[in-house]
Amino acid sequence: MSKAVGDLGLVGLAVMGQNLILNAADHGFTVVAYNRTQSKVDRFLANEAKGKSIIGATSIEDLVAKLKKPRKIMLLIKAGAPVDILIRELVPHLDKGDIIIDGGNSHFPDTNRRYEELTKQGILFVGSGVSGGEDGARFGPSLMPGGSAEAWPHIKNIFQSIAAKSDGEPCCEWVGPAGSGHYVKMVHNGIEYGDMQLICEAYDIMKRIGRFTDKEISEVFDKWNTGVLDSFLIEITRDILKFDDVDGKPLVEKIMDTAGQKGTGKWTAINALDLGMPVTLIGEAVFSRCLSAIKDERKRASKLLAGPTVPKNAIHDRQQFVYDLEQALYASKIISYAQGFMLIREAARSYGWKLNNPAIALMWRGGCIIRSIFLAEITKAYRDDPDLENLLFNKFFASAVTKAQSGWRRSIALAATYGVPTPAFSTALAFYDGYRSERLPANLLQAQRDYFGAHTFRVLPECASAHLPVDKDIHINWTGHGGNISSSTYQA
Ligand code: NBP
């Protein structure tokens, strides 16, 4: 009979699983490692895990038998069907109150479903976002757990011990119920798409309009990394741009300019549309990858479709040009995070989740791909007011955007003048100008819909009259020959 000595069981010995096990062992926990392909367990025990508080399991039964109660079993396996298969295999061996944690990139509706099913069976289920890649898993990831709240006291110590620390605080807190942990991870990944796209646009403008070399652009990122943009992604961009191939030429310029967009970025954009939230920057970041992917078509179009050419002296003041771009990047980033938190707020409302907003910002401050100085300010904003309606209503961010906006507008105008695409910069500014507009042209849109589809409209209270009553759906016979019947179903 196996002895129940394990604090944590971990299933899945690929890159994330192995590193998280080593991390947990370094923090004094005894981890029981299991993998579908047994040879990987044997290899791991004989190498990286040797001499550490890590024991192997030869079967699901063996794994369960080696864990202290309530058992805590974390899955770090391929998302999708494998998670359902493994849960089905595990459950018959578990007792009520045992805990299954899915640490993979599962889609939150799947986590909602698994949470419901397992709750009925008395098993506590946690869906946890894990970010930071291989290095994060090994030395401190950002962890975003949500699901059965009763599980949190049992896993809190392990999770907060192995998580990254930011100013001494663990980048891990309880997010909320059901699939909310995976939801927050999904939005994190969407924001990551946006941050990367913004950086790419700044690089493209410096290259194509400023005619900077990669080394010069690297120096700009190096400088930016000491200011408000200080972040992991700016830091790695700096290093990528100064990395030469064996022939002394920048390696990045030899890389095919096509990118994929499966998974969490796409899910975030789809969810934003489902919830009716204008998360435009992440949407543009996903579409930019789609545009990059049609390389052959772009190649043909580049020969056929004309645009402005960039003169050699397009930039008169390099310092101002770089300063403006920094402001454009900073302001757009503020908009992207404001949109991300708008989406989280709407999800909480739509799905009936009570979410911990200050903790979400805190969890993203360290360990993960979007870690940055900037997130300290977001954490502060939500700590000062956990129910903050919009990040842009916070004094610090409102004033930061106000200060940044002339450089932001100049950068976008310059790029448009010379035909350099800036989908993320531009959509961020369009959102900002739309958000701060008390009146938008949707009045005309409503009139058009009523004209062709009898879709009705509402009238502004100050314009109400006997034939245009307030708070009533009104249909007008715009042409004199249309009917007076309004549509109750047609949605244009
Ligand atoms: P992978 O996503 O490559 O998954 C490989 C693991 O899944 C192996 O242990 C494999 O076992 C196991 N597996 C598969 Br495939 N089908 C299985 C099944 N039906 N039953 C049991 N096990 C099965 O590993 P990863 O890159 O370490 O990522 C793990 C999770 O963490 C994923 O959900 C991933 O999206 C997420 N994630 C990854 C990163 C990253 O940087 N890689 C970052 C953040 C989150 P086998 O050895 O027997 O084939």
pLDDT digits (tens, 9 = 90+) for 413-472: 999 999 999 999 999 999 999 999 999 999 999 999 999 999 999 999 999 999 999 999
- 465 class by beta-carbon count within 10 Å (0-12 exposed, 13-18 middle, 19+ buried): exposed
Q: Give, as one character, the DSSP assignment of residue 165.
A: E
Which of 78, 100, 188 to mutate for ligand 1's pocket (most ligand atoms within 8 Å of CB)? 78
Q: What percent of the chain has pLDDT over 90?
A: 92
What pLDDT shows up at residue 489? 61
Cα(435)–Cα(433) distance, rounded to whole angstroms? Answer: 6
What pLDDT shows up at residue 357? 87
Number of structural domains the chain divides into: 3
Average pLDDT over residues 117-143: 96
pTM, whole model, 2 decimals?
0.95
Annotated binding residue 16: yes
Higher-pLDDT residue of 336 and 356 is 336
Residue 458 sits in the same domain as residue 480:
yes
Cα(193)–Cα(200) distance, rounded to whole angstroms? Answer: 11
Cα(240)–Cα(237) distance, rounded to whole angstroms? Answer: 5
Cα(10)–Cα(73) distance, rounded to whole angstroms? Answer: 6
Ligand 1, atom 17, lies closest to the CA of 82
Which contiguous run of DSSP H or E holds residue 331?
helix 318-351
Does 3 map to a domain?
no
CA 97 / ligand 1 centre spacing (Å): 26
Cα(319)–Cα(305) distance, rounded to whole angstroms? Answer: 32
Phi, psi of 121 (to 5 degrees): -95, 5
Q: What distance lies between CA 59 and its chain's CA centroid? A: 35
Contacts of 304 (CB under 8 A, 6+ apart): none
CA 238 / ligand 1 centre spacing (Å): 30
Cis ω on the peptide bond leading into residue 421 (within 30° of 0)? Answer: no
CA 285 / ligand 1 centre spacing (Å): 26
Residue 275 sits in the same domain as residue 407:
yes
Average pLDDT over residues 219-247: 97
Cβ atoms within 10 Å of 386's Cβ, excluding its own: 12
Residue 204 sits in the same domain as residue 124:
no
Dihedral sign for Cα 391, 397, 403, 406, please: negative
Which of 48, 74, 76 to mutate for ligand 1's pocket (most ligand atoms within 8 Å of CB)? 76
Q: Which two tokens stand for residue 296?
A: 């052959």
Q: Give the ligand 1 atom nearest the CA of 14.
A: 27
What pLDDT shows up at residue 448? 97
Residue 365 sits in the same domain as residue 384:
yes
Backbone conformation region of residue 127, classed left if phi is above 0, alpha if psi is from -120 to 50, else beta: beta
Q: Give the ligand 1 atom nearest the CA of 103.
A: 31
Contacts of 279 (CB under 8 A, 6+ apart): 190, 268, 269, 272, 339, 340, 342, 343
Tell me the pLDDT band of 490, cut-offs 50, 70 and 90.
low
CATH number of residue 255's parent domain: 1.10.1040.10
Tell me the pLDDT band of 10, cut-offs 50, 70 and 90.
very high
Where is the domain boundary, 162, 178, 194? 178
Ligand 1, atom 43, lies closest to the CA of 133
CATH number of residue 53's parent domain: 3.40.50.720
Average pLDDT over residues 163-191: 96
What pLDDT shows up at residue 337? 97
Largest CA distance in the chain: 88
Question: Reading across the β-sheet that carries 54-56, which strands appear in turn?
Answer: 54-56, 31-34, 8-11, 72-75, 99-102, 124-131, 142-147
pLDDT for 245 beyond 90: yes
Residue 307 sits in the same domain as residue 323:
yes
- What residues does ligand 1 touch, defined as CB less than 6 Å away? 12-17, 35-37, 40, 76-79, 82, 85-86, 104-105, 130-131, 133-134
Burial profile 77-98: b = 16 or more Cβ within 10 angstroms, e = fewer:
bebeeebeebbeebbebbeeeb
Cβ atoms within 10 Å of 363's Cβ, excluding its own: 34
Cα(224)–Cα(235) distance, rounded to whole angstroms? Answer: 9
Which of 13, 16, 85 to mutate for ligand 1's pocket (most ligand atoms within 8 Å of CB)? 16
CA 83 / ligand 1 centre spacing (Å): 10
Residue 59 sits in the same domain as residue 197:
no
Q: What percent of the chain has pLDDT over 70?
A: 98
Annotated binding residue 13: yes
Residue 114 sits in the same domain as residue 211:
no
Lowest mean pLDDT among 259-263, 321-325, 400-404, 423-427: 259-263
CA 431 / ligand 1 centre spacing (Å): 38
Average pLDDT over residues 260-276: 93
Higher-pLDDT residue of 264 and 421 is 421
Cα(388)–Cα(238) distance, rounded to whole angstroms? Answer: 34
Q: Give the ligand 1 atom nearest the CA of 17.
A: 27
Single-letter amino acid code for the residue at 295: K
Is residue 152 within 8 Å of residue 125, measured between CB atoms? no
What pLDDT shows up at residue 491? 54
Does 316 map to a domain?
yes
- Residues with active-site annotation: 185, 192
Residue 415 sits in the same domain as residue 461:
no
Where is the domain boundary, 178, 206, 227? 178
**Collapsing DSSP states into helix, strand and coil, what is residue 166?**
strand
Is residue 292 within 8 Å of residue 258, measured between CB atoms? yes
Which contiguous run of DSSP H or E holds residue 145?
strand 142-147
Residue 420 sits in the same domain as residue 455:
no
What pLDDT shows up at residue 356? 87
Ligand 1, atom 12, lies closest to the CA of 77
CA 190 / ligand 1 centre spacing (Å): 21
Q: 413 lies in which domain range? A: 185-435
Cα(2)–Cα(63) distance, rounded to whole angstroms? Answer: 9
Contacts of 263 (CB under 8 A, 6+ apart): 105, 189
Where is the domain boundary, 143, 178, 213? 178
Average pLDDT over residues 320-336: 98
